[in-house]
């Protein structure tokens, strides 16, 4: 090939290759731009996944066939499923089965709390196979079932206790009825066993009434319309209900000074709660020992209503359980006084439904003090709340929202709620 032909051939090849080169360069540039744009996006998504896993309320851990934990979140460590890079032995034993049969397995565990090491946490672990490229993994999802287990145990205990408590009076009534049928002509025997039968029926009726009351207090039913209640009147009613039983045992019911304080609540429920505490104080006090009912204000807006006895007291191990349903410190004494074992549970829920709290101090041989804490009724706050509710009702009737989603008055013209809030701010 002559140099001239080679020269022209080179020009022809260059002319043909130039468009291809330009296209390749443009493709590379576009690919570079796409990569530059996609890398931050991929990084952001990866970070999002990481944060979602770490913040999950479910414990998550990924294990290799060797047992090494490749990935785990804080919740898995908190629930003692993962520790020092290894998984809980019971979980790992099931994970090995997952590796072998490539099927999902479920495991229930009772694990100690990491923080204390004493309290047991009930967890549910779901272990699934996970295959990525050529590698095989097992992933475990762990949820805390402690509250569900506690509620289920409480339900079982409740059913067992109710069955036992109702069985006793029903069995007694059957025996008494049988005794009456043996000789119905004996007037003295009929009177004696009839009185016993009536007593057992009354006790069973009280228990059923208490169960219904407790069920309502623990359920989703709202309390009746509450109103300001004078604490002095609650104490008066409680003393009136218990004065006969106290007099029969020479027990003086001492009430503290009248304060004129009021609380927002349901008077029959509050009276029943305080009366129950006074009744217990009388029943568990020796003859002649006084019982006091006092009230005072703490921190300016909290009522402390105390019922104090100088009776047998309550042992420390029993103090934690006295508010449980059917729990009795002294079963024999409770049976003789006709108690149902539900009184303090009802008191606890009555107080809680009024936004309060109940506390116990007791020392065996010295006596006990039950303290009910309730928020004091504030007339000014109640008036403001009532006026706001009235204005909101007027706005709703007029077809316009009185407040926004953020709890602020609707902007624009003067609404009833806006006018009320202006007056409230002006008064302040």
pTM (two decimals): 0.53
pLDDT of residue 268: 87
Burial grade of 179 (CB within 10 A; 0-12, 13-18, 19 or more): middle
Looking at the chain, which residues constitute the CATH 1.10.287.130 domain(s)? 148-218
Q: pLDDT at residue 85 above 90? A: no
Distance CA 74, CA 54 (A): 6
Distance CA 59, CA 62 (A): 10
- For residue 407, is pLDDT > 80? no
Cα–Cα distance, 282 to 249 (Å, whole number): 9
Mean of the per-residue pLDDT values of the chain:
77
> How far is it, in rounded angstroms, from Cα 281 to Cα 347?
14
Give 269-323 pLDDT, tens digit per residue.
899 899 999 999 998 899 999 999 999 988 778 999 999 999 889 888 888 888 8
Domain limits, CATH 3.30.565.10, in the chain = 227-377
CATH 3.30.450.20: which residues of the chain?
59-144
> What is the DSSP secondary-structure string of 353-383?
HTT-EEEEEEETTTEEEEEEEEEBP-HHHHH
Q: Does domain 227-377 have CATH number 3.30.565.10?
A: yes
Gap between the Cα atoms of 268 and 262, Å rounded? 14
Indicate the angle between helix axes 267-283 and 231-248, nearest 10 degrees. 30
Q: Which two tokens stand for residue 292?
A: 């006091």
pLDDT exceeding 90 applies to what percent of the chain?
Answer: 24
Q: What is the mean pLDDT of residues 82-87?
A: 85
pLDDT score for 134: 74
The stretch 203-224 carries a mean pLDDT of 68
Q: What is the pLDDT of residue 360?
A: 93
**DSSP-derived pairing of the beta strands 105-112 and 86-87:** unpaired
CATH class of the domain comprising 148-218? mainly alpha
% of the chain beyond a pLDDT of 70 = 69
The CATH number assigned to the domain with range 59-144 reads 3.30.450.20
pLDDT tens-place string over residues 26-82: 555 555 554 545 555 556 777 787 788 888 888 999 988 888 898 889 888 888 888
248-265 pLDDT, tens digit each: 999 999 999 998 999 998
């Amino acid at each position: 090939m002559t140099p001239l032909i080679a020269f022209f051939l080179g020009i022809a090849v260059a002319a043909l290759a130039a468009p291809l080169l330009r296209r390749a360069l443009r493709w590379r540039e576009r690919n570079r731009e796409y990569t530059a744009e996609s890398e931050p996006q991929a990084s952001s998504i990866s970070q999002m996944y990481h944060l979602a896993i770490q913040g999950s309320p479910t414990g998550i851990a990924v294990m290799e066939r060797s047992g090494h934990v490749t990935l785990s979140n804080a919740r898995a460590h908190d629930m003692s499923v993962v520790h020092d890079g290894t998984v809980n032995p019971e979980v790992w034993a099931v994970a090995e089965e997952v590796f072998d049969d490539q099927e999902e397995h479920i495991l229930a565990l009772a694990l100690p709390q990491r923080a204390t090491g004493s309290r047991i946490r009930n967890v549910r672990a779901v272990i699934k196979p996970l295959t990525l490229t050529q590698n095989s993994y097992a992933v475990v999802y762990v949820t805390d079932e402690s509250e569900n287990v506690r509620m289920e145990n409480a339900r079982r205990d409740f059913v067992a206790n109710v069955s036992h408590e109702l069985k006793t009076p029903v069995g007694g009534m059957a025996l008494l009825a049988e005794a009456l049928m043996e000789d119905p002509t004996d007037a003295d025997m009929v009177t004696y066993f009839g009185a016993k039968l009536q007593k057992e029926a009354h006790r069973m009726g009280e228990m059923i009434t208490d169960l219904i009351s407790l069920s309502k207090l623990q359920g989703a039913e709202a309390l009746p319309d509450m109103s300001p209640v004078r604490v002095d009147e609650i104490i008066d009613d409680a003393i009136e209900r218990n004065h006969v039983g106290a007099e029969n045992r020479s027990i003086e019911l001492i009430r503290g000074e009248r304060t004129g304080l009021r609380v927002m609540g349901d008077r029959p429920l509050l009276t029943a709660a305080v009366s129950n505490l006074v009744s217990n104080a009388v029943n568990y006090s020796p003859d002649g020992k006084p019982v006091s009912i006092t009230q005072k204000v703490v921190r300016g807006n909290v009522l402390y209503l105390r019922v104090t006895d100088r009776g047998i007291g309550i042992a420390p191990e029993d103090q934690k359980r006295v508010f449980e349903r059917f729990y009795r410190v002294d079963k024999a004494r409770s049976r003789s006084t006709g108690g149902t074992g539900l009184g303090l549970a009802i008191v606890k829920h009555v107080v809680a439904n009024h936004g309060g709290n109940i506390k116990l101090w007791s020392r065996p041989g010295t006596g006990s003090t039950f303290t009910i804490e309730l928020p004091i009724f504030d007339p000014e706050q109640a008036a403001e709340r009532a006026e706001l509710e009235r204005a909101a009702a007027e706005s709703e009737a007029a077809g316009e929202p009185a407040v926004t989603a953020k709890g602020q008055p609707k902007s624009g013209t003067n609404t009833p709620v806006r006018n009320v809030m202006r007056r409230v701010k002006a008064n302040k």
